[in-house]
Amino acid sequence: MHGTVPTPADVPAGVYRQTWGPGAKFGFYPVRDATCWYCTVKASDPRFIDEPARKDAIRARVATYPPPIVSLIGAPSEHPITRAIIATHDLEKPWVHGRIGLLGDAAHALAPHLGQGAGQAMEDAVVLAECLRTNPDVIAALRE
């Protein structure tokens, strides 16, 4: 779930904060004069599927979380609370078949709130480039 609201008074300026609690992870961060927030819940939970009911369901889920989380959810906004399904996976190796190799999210997609999927994709690219530089055989370099 993802929302954008005019920044409420109790939201600290310039802060990105993530709170992990029972049943949900909640994060918020500034974007210009607004604050974006997200809340992770189980995608199949019917309470979060219908757009009009989402707000109350999220508020109930994080009712015991520290401020300013409840006021962020309650803040009036012209934007709907959107729902995106996030899937993570960690494919079994090998991630290589002949001249085809998987890198980044294709091989090991992470949930976005961990904030490291792009970093890992770049690491993959750097290591692969080094293997290709030192190994003239593409298939062997990919396997390495």
Ligand X SMILES: Cc1cc2nc3c(=O)[nH]c(=O)nc-3n(C[C@H](O)[C@H](O)[C@H](O)COP(=O)(O)OP(=O)(O)OC[C@H]3O[C@@H](n4cnc5c(N)ncnc54)[C@H](O)[C@@H]3O)c2cc1C
Q: How far apart are CA 58 and CA 70, in angstroms?
A: 9
Confirm if 21 and 55 have CB atoms less than 8 A apart: no
Q: Which is nearer to ligand X, 49 or 118 (CB)?
A: 118
Among 59, 77, 83, 104, which residue interacts with ligand X (rule: CB under 6 A)?
104
Q: Tell me which residues in 121-140 interact with ligand X (CB under 6 A).
A: 121
Among 19, 77, 117, 131, which residue interacts with ligand X (rule: CB under 6 A)?
117
82 DSSP assignment: B
Number of residues binding to ligand X, judged by CB under 6 A: 10
Stretch that binds ligand X, among 62-70, 74-82, 100-108, 128-136 (CB under 6 A): 100-108
Site membership for ligand X, residue 116 (CB under 6 A): yes
∠ CA 44-57-62, rounded to 5°: 105
Size of the chain, expressed as the number of residues it contains = 144
Confirm if 62 and 3 have CB atoms less than 8 A apart: no
Q: Which is nearer to ligand X, 63 or 82 (CB)?
A: 82
Confirm if 27 and 16 have CB atoms less than 8 A apart: yes
Q: Which residues contact ligand X (rule: CB under 6 A)?
A: 104-106, 112, 115-119, 121
